[in-house]
C-alpha cells in the first residue's frame, strides 16, 4: 500500500505518513499560515500528482506561487473557480480547468473527474516512478469560500461523494477551513468526513499546530514554520 | 416533438420528447453530463424554437461560453431566440426578497412573463440553486402550470446529491414525464459514463442503462465490448466480418485445411446510434487460457453454434463457462441454418442449460440482415441489463 508523506515530521516518523483514502482538515484562523500549511501537505513528491480546487486565488497566481515555492508545477492540476467571474470566455487547458463560480458544484465535480482521468490516462507529464494507481493529493482551498456559496447540508453531501471517490482512487484529500467563521455544528459536520484534523493558531512567538486523529502522535501544540513550501517543526 | 439531438436517445423515445412534457437530467457528481442539456438547447434553437434558460449559477455570458466550448456552437447565433435569467437575477431576487415564499413568487412571475412575452417553446432550468434557495416543492412549482404546460416543454438539469431516493420520488409522484439519470462507473479508475432511462410517462419502456462518450461536440452512445464465441468453424469470423463496418481477423490455415482464428477477431460498427466494438474469440481449446482475458469487461455475449454440427454443443457449453456467460446478457445464434440440419431449439436449451429468457435465433451469418438482427437483440438486452 502506498503511504503519503505529509511533510510533518511527527506524522511521517511515527506512522510513515498517512494511508490512501485519508482526509485531512486544516482548521486555521484568518491571517495565519494555515493556507501555506495546506499547500505544504498538498505538495506532490516525485511520482505523485496534486489537484487543487482554488476558490481564493486565480490559477495564474497559484502557478506563480508554486514556482516561487519550488513545487513541481507540471504534476499539479488546478480547478479555478475564480477567474471566470472576471474573464467569462477563458478556455480550459490540460492543466487548468475553469468553473463559473464556487457555487458551481456540478462544474467542480466534472472538472475534477476530467483531470483525474487525464492523470490516469498518462496525459499529464509521465513520471519516472510510474505508480498505479497514480498517487494524487486533492486540496480544496477553501471550504470557507464554498460554505459562503452553498448551504452546509448541500456541501456536506457533495464532499461525501468526493471523499468516496478519493478513497476509491486511493488518493488523499486536504481541506482548509477558517475555524473562526463557523459555529460548532458546521465544524463538527465537516470533521465527520475527516480522518485527521490539524488545528493552527498564531501567537506572538509564531505559528503553532496541533494534530488530532493520528494514533501515537502527540496532541500538544507544536511550533512550526513554512520555508520554501516545506514545513519545519521548531523544537 | 422536441428533439434532444442525441442520436440513440431520440430514437429510443420515439423521435424525441412530446411537446408540453417535463424532463429531468439528473447528474451524479463528477460525471460529464452537461452535454445532455446543452445539446438539447442547441437542437431546439436550430429548429427555430425559442428557449428560456434559467441559470442561477452563472452569468448568461459564462453559460454561452461554456456551451460554445463543449458544442463548438454559439447558441446565441442560432435560428431560435434564446433568453437567459442568470445569476444576476438570482442575486437581485435574493437581496430584495428575504422570505422563501416571496422569492418563489418573484421567480415565478418573472419566468411566466418571459415565457409569454417571447413565445417560449422550451424552458430549461438549472435546478440546484433554486432547490437550495426555495426548497424542493417551491422550486418544482416554478415549472409551467397546467395551462401553459400544453405548449411549453420543460427540461431540468439537476446535480443529484441525494441518490436513488430522489429519482424514485420524481418517478413515483409523476413530477417528470422523462427521467434520465447520468452516472459514472467510478471504481479505482473513472472508466466510463452511462445514463439510465429511469422513467418515461408516454411509453411503456423498460429501465435502460447505456454507456456514452463525449467527443466532437456530441454524445455518442457506445458498447465497448460484445463477445462472439462458439465452437471451431461455427462461423464467428464470418459473423464479425458481416456485423462490422471495419475490422481485423487473425486467421491461419489449420491441418484440416480450414481457416481458424488464432488470436481474436475485432470489428467496429455504428448501429442504431451506438458505437460498438465486437471481439470474436478463437474456438479451439488450445486458446482457452486467453478467453477469460478477452471476455474481461464485456457487456454481452453472443454464442454462435453450427446448426449442422450438434457435436459442437459440448464445446459451446465449455466456452459459456469460460466466459462466465451466466453473469452477462446472452444471445444464442445458430448459424448455417440455411443448410440441412437437425439441431433444434429444445435440444440447444437443454444441452446448454440456458435461462428461458435467452433468445435463440436460427441464422446464416452470410446474410448481413440476420447478423444485424442478432446484434440488435444483443444491444436491446445490454441496455436492459442492470449494471
User: Residue B186 is part of which domain span?
Assistant: 9-216
**Residues B291, B280: Cα–Cα separation, whole Å:** 10
C-alpha cell recorded at residue B143: 415549472
CB contact under 8 A, B61 and A84: no
Residue A131 covered by a domain? yes
Residue B1 covered by a domain? no
Complex confidence, ipTM: 0.91
**Residues A66, A139: Cα–Cα separation, whole Å:** 14
Chain B residues with beta carbon closer than 8 angstroms to that of A114: 32
User: Which of B30, B132, B162 comes nearest A150 by C-beta?
Assistant: B132
Instruction: Tell me if A11 sits within 8 A of A4, measured CB to CB.
Output: no
With a cut of 80, say whether residue B189 has pLDDT above it: no
Q: What is the pLDDT of residues B53-71, one digit of tens each?
A: 999 999 999 999 999 999 9
CB contact under 8 A, B190 and A104: no
Of B225, B226, B163, B174, which is closest to residue B196 (Cα–Cα)? B163
CB contact under 8 A, B32 and A116: no
Confidence of residue B261 (pLDDT cuts 50, 70, 90): low
Distance from CA of A167 to the nearest CA of B (A): 9
Confidence of residue B376 (pLDDT cuts 50, 70, 90): very high
Chain B residues with beta carbon closer than 8 angstroms to that of A110: 30-34
User: Mapping DSSP to helix (H, G, I), strand (E, B) and coil, where does residue B318 land?
Assistant: helix
* Interacting residues of B91 by C-beta distance below 8 A, sequence separation 6+: none
Q: What percent of chain B has pLDDT over 70?
A: 93
Q: Quick one: CA dihedral B313, B316, B318, B320, positive or negative?
A: negative
A118 vs B: CB within 8 A: no
User: Mapping DSSP to helix (H, G, I), strand (E, B) and coil, where does residue A115 land?
Assistant: helix
Of B24, B25, B30, which to mutate for an interface test with A (greatest number of A Cβ within 10 Å)? B30
How many domains are contained in chain B?
A: 2
Residue A229 covered by a domain? yes
User: Which of A100, A109, A112 comes nearest B57 by C-beta?
Assistant: A100
A112 vs B: CB within 8 A: yes
Of B280, B270, B293, which is closest to residue B237 (Cα–Cα)? B280
- Position A183 scores a pLDDT of 93
Other CB atoms within 10 Å distance of the CB of residue B384? 13
Instruction: Tell me if B365 sits within 8 A of B228, measured CB to CB.
Output: no
Residue A120 covered by a domain? yes
User: Mapping DSSP to helix (H, G, I), strand (E, B) and coil, where does residue A141 land?
Assistant: strand
**Residues B368, B374: Cα–Cα separation, whole Å:** 10
Higher-confidence position of B132 and B203:
B132
Locate the chain B residue with the closest alpha carbon to A92. B69
What is the arithmetic mean of pLDDT over B357-377? 94
CB contact under 8 A, B57 and A165: no
Q: What is the pLDDT of residues B22-56, one digit of tens each?
A: 999 999 999 989 999 999 999 999 999 999 999 99
User: Residue A120 is part of which domain span?
Assistant: 9-233
A65 vs B: CB within 8 A: no
Higher-confidence position of A162 and B13:
A162
Q: What is the pLDDT of residues B280-293, one digit of tens each?
A: 998 888 888 888 88
User: Which of A91, A103, A104 comes nearest B69 by C-beta?
Assistant: A91
Residue B308 covered by a domain? yes
**Residues A40, A50: Cα–Cα separation, whole Å:** 11
How many domains are contained in chain A?
A: 1
Chain A residues with beta carbon closer than 8 angstroms to that of B129: 103
Of B246, B387, B258, B241, which is closest to residue B328 (Cα–Cα)? B387
CB contact under 8 A, B159 and A151: no
What is the arithmetic mean of pLDDT over B181-190? 73
Of A53, A77, A81, A103, which to mutate for an interface test with B (greatest number of B Cβ within 10 Å)? A103
**Residues B162, B72: Cα–Cα separation, whole Å:** 32
Residue with cell 515555492: A69
Same domain for B151 and B30: yes
Same domain for B194 and B141: yes
CB contact under 8 A, A106 and B186: no
With a cut of 60, say whether residue B262 has pLDDT above it: no
With a cut of 60, say whether residue B190 has pLDDT above it: no
Instruction: Tell me if B41 sits within 8 A of B109, measured CB to CB.
Output: no
| Residues β-bridged to residue B122 | B51, B153
Same domain for B197 and B168: yes
Residue with cell 470566455: A89
Same domain for B130 and B107: yes
Q: Which of B152, B186, B216 is a domain's end point?
A: B216
Chain A residues with beta carbon closer than 8 angstroms to that of B59: 88, 100
Same domain for B266 and B163: no
- Please report the beta strands in A73-186, taking only residues with DSSP state E, as ranges in sequence order: 76-80, 96-98, 136-141, 172-177
Q: What is the DSSP letter of B75?
A: G
- Position B249 scores a pLDDT of 67
Distance from CA of B12 to the nearest CA of A (A): 26
φ, ψ dihedrals at A176, nearest 5°: -115, 145
Q: What is the pLDDT of residues A144-197, one digit of tens each?
A: 999 999 999 999 999 999 999 999 999 999 999 999 989 999 999 999 999 999
Residue with cell 486565488: A57
CB contact under 8 A, A109 and B65: no
- Position B210 scores a pLDDT of 84
**Residues A188, A27: Cα–Cα separation, whole Å:** 12
Of B369, B256, B364, which is closest to residue B307 (Cα–Cα)? B364
A215 vs B: CB within 8 A: no
User: Mapping DSSP to helix (H, G, I), strand (E, B) and coil, where does residue B56 land?
Assistant: coil
A154 vs B: CB within 8 A: yes
* Interacting residues of B23 by C-beta distance below 8 A, sequence separation 6+: B17, B153, B154, B155, B156, B176, B177, B178, B179, B180
Q: What is the pLDDT of residues B85-136, one digit of tens each?
A: 999 999 999 999 999 999 999 999 999 999 999 999 999 999 999 999 999 9
Q: What CATH number has the domain bearing residue B256?
A: 3.40.50.300
User: Which of B30, B66, B188 comes nearest A109 by C-beta?
Assistant: B30
DSSP per-residue codes, B204-271: ----EEEEEEEETTEEEEEEEEEEEE-STTSSHHHHHHHH-SEEEEEEEE-TTS-EEEEEEEEEEEEE
| Residues β-bridged to residue B195 | B182, B210
- Position B258 scores a pLDDT of 62
Give the range among A207-211, B304-308, B341-345 with minimum mean pLDDT: B341-345
Q: Which of B184, B216, B248 is a domain's end point?
A: B216
User: Mapping DSSP to helix (H, G, I), strand (E, B) and coil, where does residue A211 land?
Assistant: strand
Chain A residues with beta carbon closer than 8 angstroms to that of B184: 113
- For residue B255, whether the previous peptide bond is cis, meaning omega lies within 30 degrees of 0, is no
Same domain for B197 and B327: no
* Ramachandran sector of residue B15 (left: φ over 0; alpha: ψ -120 to 50; beta: rest): left
**Residues A78, A55: Cα–Cα separation, whole Å:** 11
A131 vs B: CB within 8 A: no
Q: What percent of chain A has pLDDT over 70?
A: 98
Instruction: Tell me if B1 sits within 8 A of B134, measured CB to CB.
Output: no
Residues 13-42 of chain A with CB under 8 A from chain B are none
Pairing of strands B22-27, B218-229: unpaired
C-alpha cell recorded at residue B323: 466466459
Same domain for B231 and B161: no
CB contact under 8 A, A104 and B57: yes
Tell me the pLDDT of chain B averaged across its residues: 89
| Residues β-bridged to residue B182 | B27, B195
Residue A2 covered by a domain? no
Instruction: Tell me if B373 sits within 8 A of B380, measured CB to CB.
Output: no
A213 vs B: CB within 8 A: no
Of B184, B185, B183, which is closest to residue B297 (Cα–Cα)? B185
**Residues B192, B212: Cα–Cα separation, whole Å:** 7
User: Mapping DSSP to helix (H, G, I), strand (E, B) and coil, where does residue A152 land?
Assistant: helix
Same domain for B104 and B66: yes
CB contact under 8 A, A88 and B65: yes
Helix H or strand E encompassing A212? strand A206-212
Same domain for B205 and B61: yes
With a cut of 70, say whether residue B387 has pLDDT above it: no
Q: Which of B182, B198, B216 is a domain's end point?
A: B216
Residue B100 covered by a domain? yes
Confidence of residue A98 (pLDDT cuts 50, 70, 90): very high
Same domain for B88 and B33: yes
Confidence of residue B260 (pLDDT cuts 50, 70, 90): low
Other CB atoms within 10 Å distance of the CB of residue B257? 6
Same domain for B326 and B302: yes
Q: What CATH number has the domain bearing residue A217?
A: 3.40.50.300
C-alpha cell recorded at residue B32: 460529464
Residue B212 covered by a domain? yes
Chain B residues with beta carbon closer than 8 angstroms to that of A118: none
A96 vs B: CB within 8 A: no
With a cut of 90, say whether residue B373 has pLDDT above it: yes
Instruction: Tell me if B2 sits within 8 A of B19, measured CB to CB.
Output: yes
Tell me how far apart the 2 most distant CA atoms of chain A are, in Å. Answer: 51
Same domain for B310 and B228: yes
With a cut of 70, say whether residue A103 has pLDDT above it: yes
Give the range among A58-67, A164-173, B155-164, B242-251 with minimum mean pLDDT: B242-251
Give the range among A52-66, B65-79, B180-194 with minimum mean pLDDT: B180-194
* Interacting residues of B128 by C-beta distance below 8 A, sequence separation 6+: A105, A106, A154, B57, B158, B159
Amino acid at each position: 500500500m502506498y503511504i503519503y508523506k505529509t511533510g510533518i515530521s511527527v506524522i511521517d516518523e511515527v506512522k510513515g505518513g498517512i494511508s490512501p483514502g485519508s482526509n485531512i482538515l486544516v482548521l486555521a484562523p484568518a491571517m495565519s499560515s494555515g493556507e501555506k500549511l495546506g499547500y505544504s501537505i498538498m505538495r506532490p513528491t516525485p511520482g505523485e500528482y496534486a489537484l487543487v480546487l482554488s476558490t481564493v486565488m486565480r490559477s495564474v497566481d497559484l502557478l506563480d506561487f508554486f514556482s516561487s515555492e519550488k513545487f513541481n508545477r507540471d504534476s499539479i492540476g488546478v480547478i479555478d473557480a475564480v477567474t471566470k467571474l472576471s474573464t467569462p470566455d477563458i478556455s480550459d487547458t490540460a492543466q487548468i480547468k475553469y468553473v463559473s463560480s464556487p457555487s458551481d458544484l456540478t462544474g467542480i465535480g466534472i472538472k475534477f473527474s476530467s483531470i483525474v482521468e487525464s492523470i490516469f490516462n498518462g496525459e499529464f507529464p509521465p513520471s519516472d516512478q510510474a505508480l498505479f494507481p497514480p498517487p494524487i493529493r486533492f486540496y480544496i482551498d477553501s471550504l470557507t469560500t464554498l460554505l459562503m456559496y452553498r448551504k452546509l447540508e448541500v456541501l456536506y453531501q457533495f464532499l461525501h461523494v468526493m471523499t468516496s471517490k478519493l478513497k476509491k482512487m486511493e488518493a488523499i484529500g486536504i481541506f482548509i477551513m477558517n475555524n473562526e467563521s463557523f459555529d460548532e455544528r458546521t465544524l463538527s459536520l465537516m470533521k465527520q468526513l475527516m480522518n485527521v484534523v490539524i488545528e493552527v493558531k498564531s501567537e506572538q512567538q509564531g505559528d503553532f499546530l496541533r494534530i488530532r486523529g493520528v494514533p501515537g502522535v502527540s496532541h500538544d501544540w507544536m511550533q512550526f514554520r513554512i520555508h520554501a513550501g516545506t514545513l519545519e517543526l521548531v523544537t | 416533438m422536441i428533439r434532444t439531438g442525441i442520436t440513440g436517445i431520440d430514437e429510443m423515445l420515439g423521435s424525441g420528447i412530446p411537446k408540453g412534457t417535463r424532463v429531468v437530467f439528473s447528474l451524479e457528481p463528477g460525471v460529464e453530463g452537461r452535454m445532455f442539456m446543452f445539446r438539447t438547447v442547441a437542437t431546439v434553437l436550430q429548429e427555430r424554437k425559442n428557449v428560456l434558460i434559467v441559470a442561477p449559477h452563472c452569468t448568461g455570458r459564462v453559460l454561452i461560453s461554456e456551451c460554445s466550448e463543449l458544442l463548438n456552437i454559439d447558441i446565441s447565433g442560432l435560428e431560435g431566440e434564446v433568453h437567459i435569467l442568470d445569476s444576476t437575477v438570482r442575486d437581485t431576487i435574493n437581496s430584495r426578497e428575504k422570505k422563501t415564499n416571496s422569492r418563489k413568487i418573484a421567480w415565478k412571475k418573472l419566468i411566466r412573463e418571459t415565457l409569454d412575452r417571447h413565445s417560449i417553446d422550451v424552458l430549461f432550468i438549472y435546478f440546484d440553486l433554486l432547490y437550495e434557495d426555495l426548497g424542493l416543492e417551491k422550486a418544482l412549482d416554478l415549472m409551467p402550470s397546467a395551462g401553459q404546460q400544453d405548449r411549453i416543454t420543460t427540461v431540468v438539469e439537476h446535480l443529484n446529491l441525494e441518490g436513488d431516493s430522489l429519482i424514485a420520488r420524481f418517478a413515483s409522484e409523476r413530477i417528470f414525464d422523462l427521467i434520465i439519470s447520468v452516472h459514472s462507473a467510478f471504481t479505482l479508475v473513472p472508466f466510463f459514463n452511462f445514463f439510465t432511462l429511469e422513467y418515461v410517462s408516454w411509453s411503456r419502456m423498460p429501465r435502460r442503462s447505456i454507456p456514452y462518450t463525449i467527443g466532437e461536440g456530441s454524445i455518442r452512445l457506445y458498447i465497448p465490448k460484445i463477445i462472439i464465441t462458439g465452437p471451431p468453424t461455427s462461423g464467428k469470423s464470418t459473423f464479425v466480418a458481416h456485423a462490422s463496418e471495419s475490422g481485423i481477423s487473425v486467421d491461419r490455415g489449420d491441418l484440416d485445411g480450414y481457416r481458424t482464428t488464432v488470436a481474436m477477431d475485432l470489428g467496429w460498427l455504428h448501429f442504431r446510434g451506438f458505437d460498438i466494438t465486437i471481439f470474436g474469440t478463437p474456438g479451439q481449446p488450445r486458446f482457452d487460457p486467453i478467453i477469460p482475458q478477452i471476455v474481461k469487461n464485456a457487456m454481452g455475449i453472443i454464442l454462435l453454434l453450427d446448426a449442422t454440427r450438434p457435436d459442437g454443443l459440448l464445446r459451446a457449453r465449455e466456452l459459456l463457462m469460460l466466459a462466465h456467460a451466466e453473469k452477462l446478457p446472452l444471445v444464442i445464434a445458430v448459424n448455417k441454418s440455411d443448410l440441412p440440419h437437425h439441431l433444434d431449439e429444445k435440444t440447444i436449451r437443454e444441452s446448454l442449460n440456458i435461462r428461458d429468457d435467452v433468445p435463440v435465433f436460427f441464422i446464416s451469418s452470410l446474410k448481413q440482415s440476420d447478423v444485424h438482427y442478432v446484434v440488435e437483440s444483443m444491444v436491446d438486452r445490454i441496455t436492459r441489463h442492470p449494471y
